[in-house]
Chains A and B, each alone.
Chain A
Amino acid sequence: MIAALVSEYRKFFTTRMWWILMICMMAYFLVISLAMAWVFAYAVSGDDGAVSQYRPMIYGLGASMGYVFPALVGAVAVTGEYRHRTIVPTYLAEPRRWVVMTAKALAAIPMGFVIAVAGTVSCLVGGAVGLHLGGADPGLWASQTWKAAGLSILALTMWSVIGVGLGMLVISQVGVIITVLAFTQLVEPLARVGLSAFPSTSGIAKFFPGAASDAVSGGTSIYSQLSVNGSMMQASSLSVGQGVLVLAAYGVVFALLGYVARIRRDVA
Chain B
Amino acid sequence: MIEVDHLAKRYGSQRAVDDLSFVVRPGKVTGFLGPNGAGKTTTLRAATDLIRADKGRVTFDGQAYRELLQPMRHVGVALEPTAFHPGRTASDHLMMLAPYAGVDHRRCATVLGLVGLEEAAGKRVGGFSLGMRGRLSLAAALLGNPEFLLLDEPVNGLDPEGIRWMRQLLRELADEGRTVLISSHLLSEVEQTVDEVVIIAQGRLVFQGSLAALEASTAAWVSVESSEPEAVREVARRRGWSLPPDGAHHGRTVWIGGATSTEVAVAIVQAGIPLEGLSSSSSDLESIFLSMTAGQGGIR
B181 part of interface (Cβ distance < 8 Å): no
- What number of A-B contacts does a CB cutoff of 8 Å give? 86
Interface centre among A3, A86, A87, A93 (most CB of B within 10 A): A93
Separation of A42 and B102 alpha carbons in the complex (Å): 60
Q: Of all chain A residues, which has the CB nearest B41?
A: A268
Determine whether B86 belongs to the interface, using a CB cutoff of 8 Å to chain A: yes
Interfacial chain A residues near B101, Cβ < 8 Å: 93
Known A-B contacts A3-B100, A96-B66; the reply to A267 vs B50 at CB < 8 A is yes
Interface size on A, residues (CB 8 A): 28
Is A200 positioned at the interface, with any CB of B under 8 Å from its CB? no
Bound form: Cα–Cα A264–B86 in Å: 27
Identify which of A8-16, A32-40, A148-156 touches chain B: A8-16
Of the candidates B83, B89, B95, the one having the most CB atoms from chain A within 10 angstroms of its own CB is: B83
For A14, list chain B residues within 8 Å (CB).
85, 87-89, 92, 95-96
Question: Is A92 positioned at the interface, with any CB of B under 8 Å from its CB?
Answer: yes
Among B74-82, B112-120, B157-165, B229-237, the one that faces the other chain is B74-82
Q: Are B99 and A6 interface neighbours, CB within 8 A? A: yes
A175 interface contact, C-beta 8 A: no
User: Contact between B97 and A7 (Cβ–Cβ < 8 Å)?
Assistant: yes
Contact pick for A3, options B68, B86, B87, B99, CB 8 Å: B99
Q: Does B209 reach chain A (CB closer than 8 Å)?
A: no
Alpha-carbon gap, A260 to B102, bound state (A):
29
Distance to closest chain A CB from B3 (angstroms): 18
**Are A10 and B85 in contact, CB atoms less than 8 angstroms apart?**
no
Q: Given A93-B100, A94-B100, A268-B45, does the pair A86, B50 have CB atoms closer than 8 Å?
A: no
Across the interface, which residues of B come within 8 angstroms of A84, CB to CB? 83-86
B83 touches A86 (CB 8 A): yes
Residues from 1 to 48 in B contacting A, C-beta threshold 8 Å: 42, 45, 48
Most interface-central of A16, A89, A93, A94 (chain B CB within 10 A): A89
Taken together as a complex, chains A and B put the C-alpha atoms of A133 and B14 apart, in Å, by 70
Which one, B50, B77, B80, B95, contacts A266 given CB within 8 A?
B50
CA distance A10 to B86 in the complex (A): 15
- Given known A-B contacts A10-B92, A84-B83, A86-B84, A4 and B100 have beta carbons under 8 A apart: yes
Q: Is A88 an interface residue (CB 8 A)?
A: yes
Of listed A4, A6, A88, residue having the most chain B CB within 10 A = A88
* A46 adjacent to chain B (CB < 8 Å): no
Asked whether A95 and B66 contact (CB < 8 A) given A4-B99, A7-B100, the answer is yes
The answer to whether B83 touches A89 (Cβ under 8 A) is yes
A79 to chain B, nearest CB (A): 12
Q: Is the CB of B51 within 8 A of A16?
A: no
Asked if A198 is at the interface (CB within 8 A of a chain B CB), the reply is no
B72 touches A80 (CB 8 A): no
Chain A neighbourhood of B49, CB < 8 A: 91, 95
Contacts of B52 in A (CB 8 A): 264, 266
The residue in chain B whose Cβ has the minimal distance to the Cβ of A6 is B99
Contacts of A10 in B (CB 8 A): 92, 95-96, 99
Q: Check: B297 CB closer than 8 A to any chain A CB.
A: no
Instruction: Determine whether the beta carbon of B85 is less than 8 Å from that of A92.
Output: no
**Which residues from A are CB-within-8-Å of B99?**
2-4, 6-7, 10
Interface residue? B65 (CB, 8 A) = yes
A102 to B237, CA, bound (A): 59
**Chain A residues near B48 (CB-CB < 8 A):** 92, 95
Chain A residue contacts of B50, Cβ below 8 A: 88, 91-92, 266-268
Q: How far is the CA of A34 from the CA of B95 in the complex (A)?
A: 41
Q: Is the CB of A95 within 8 A of B95?
A: no
Taking CB atoms, residues of chain A closer than 8 Å to B42 are: 268
Residues of B within 8 A of A87 (CB): 83
Task: A14-B92, A93-B72 given; name 10 further pairs at CB < 8 Å.
Answer: A3-B102, A10-B96, A15-B88, A84-B84, A86-B96, A88-B80, A92-B48, A92-B71, A92-B72, A96-B66
Please provide the 5 A-B residue pairs with the shortest distance between their CB atoms, ordered closest to farther. Answer: A93-B100, A3-B99, A266-B51, A85-B83, A14-B92
Listed in ascending order, the chain A residues whose CB lies under 8 Å from chain B are 2-4, 6-7, 10-11, 14-17, 80, 84-89, 91-96, 264, 266-268
> Can you identify 10 A-B contacts, CB atoms within 8 angstroms?
A7-B100, A14-B85, A15-B87, A17-B87, A84-B84, A85-B82, A87-B83, A89-B97, A93-B100, A266-B52
